[in-house]
Amino acid sequence: MKVIRKQLETEVGVIEMVTLKSRDVCVELTSYGAAIYQIHMNNHDLLVGPKDLNAFLTSKGYYGKTIGRVSGRLVVPSYQIDDKTYKVEPVGAKKTNLHGGKVGFSFKNFEIIGEELSPEACSVSMKYVSADGEENFPGELTLIVTYTLNDQKELRIDYDAVSNKDTLCNITCHPYFNFQKNKTNINQHSLKVHADHYLNIDQDFLLISKDQVKNTPYDFNTEMNLGDQIKRV
């Protein structure tokens, strides 16, 4: 197992690149956006996204980035915590605010605060402190993102977030996977998801209903071919 770090001057400023390596897997991370830049397994590229680093960092496609404070969409015009109302500006669509606002965590440079190395695993932790009122979210929120690669070819992401006020927090990571060498589409991929419901949304990304997946193309409780299910939509 290895952890390799280096600083680079980029279009978004000086960032750190961190590489986690096992015998079979190589994961390249960027401090900017606490992001997964590339994953290679047995020298096979697993991700879809810009291969040029500057294009990756500045892309609005959220490739591999940490998403926050709120992943997904908040509905315009506001939300309420206790008795206080917080304004929601439209970002990415007319009626919703996407992935934490105009400048969410995907476009913040995280601080590398530690790394660990053992014969079985290697990891790196990154921290970002979001100011009270940033993107209209209440409270100063400290987020620590930890990536861990082990010798079983597993990549784990842990999020640790603490705020000094009640706030919204819903963090995720946004890589685009395509395991085929010829990355034309994902129709030959198989997927299994343990879920009984899906969220039915309209053309404005607003929630219509919470529906059961049974007897729909969205039922992946048993392993299904994606191409076959997409044809049913």
Indicate the SS3 state at residue 90: coil
Distances (CA, A) of 91 to 41, 75, 103, 113: 36, 10, 10, 31
pLDDT for position 158: 98
Alpha-carbon span 118 to 98, nearest angstrom: 38
Q: Same domain for 200 and 179?
A: no
163 and 93 assigned to the same domain:
yes
13-21 and 25-30: which strand pairing? antiparallel
Count of domains in the chain? 2
Per-residue confidence (pLDDT) for residue 70, from 0 to 100: 97
> Do 38 and 144 belong together in one domain?
yes
Domain finish residue from 147, 167, 184: 184
Give 10-residue mean pLDDT values along the chain (233 residues). Answer: 97 98 97 98 94 97 97 96 96 96 98 97 98 97 98 97 98 95 90 97 95 96 96 93
Regarding whether 77 and 132 lie in a shared domain, the answer is yes
My answer on whether 58 and 169 are in the same domain is yes
User: Do residues 46 and 150 share a domain?
Assistant: yes
Secondary element (H or E) of residue 55: helix 53-58
* 122 and 217 inside one domain: no
For residue 96, the surrounding DSSP H or E stretch is strand 96-98
Structural domain harbouring 98: 2-184
Residues 25 and 68 both lie in one domain: yes
Residues 29, 140 within the same domain? yes
Looking at residue 5, what is its pLDDT? 97
Q: Which CATH number do you get for residue 97?
A: 2.70.98.10
DSSP 105-158: GGGSBPEEEEEEE-SSEEEEEEEEEEPTTGGG--S-EEEEEEEEEETTS-EEEE
